[in-house]
Amino acid sequence: MELDWVTFTLEIINFLVLIWILQRFLYQPVLRTIARRKAAIEKTLSDSNAAQAGARALGMIGNGTDQVEIRVTAYKGRPGAMGYLRVQVASFEEQANARTLAARLRSQYSDVRIEVVELAVGRRYRVHVGRFTSEQQAESVANRLEDQFQVDPLVVRDDT
């Protein structure tokens, strides 16, 4: 058996072309997808770490903390009345956590209250601050609370 150099050379060229095609059309797109996913995961982790730092700053990490659920549970407002605006600072599963935050807020704000809400997932304790007549006032306090406590406050209307 003799080695046919022409066939051998063509096989090598064929193999190199195959490697180039796979590199260009398969390997590189997969690497780009992995890089995008890695960046998205790192951003999510960074956001999570910031939220955890905020919760730690409030002294409320662990059992009993809850995510905010936004939905209308009942409307008992006065017809034609605009009511007041309040800033919802946080929502908790454990009443003790809501009381702790409310106590910290009372040193800086005069109108702090805890609203008890019954949801499908159970009872929640929402900590509200203020009684504002303009959105600008409420947003200003919400921004201050966000910076101070690393929370994501909501401006809510109290029509009761």
In a 10 Å sphere around its CB, with 0-12 CB exposed, 13-18 middle and 19+ buried, how is residue 159 labelled?
A: middle
| Beta-bridge partners for 154 | 88
The residue written with tokens 């929370």 in the block is: 151
Per-residue model confidence as pLDDT tens digits over 36-45 = 999 988 888 8
Per-residue model confidence as pLDDT tens digits over 70-87 = 554 444 545 556 678 899
The pTM for the full model equals 0.52
CATH architecture of 84-158: 2-Layer Sandwich (3.30)
Could you tell me the residue ranges of all domains in the chain? 1-58, 84-158
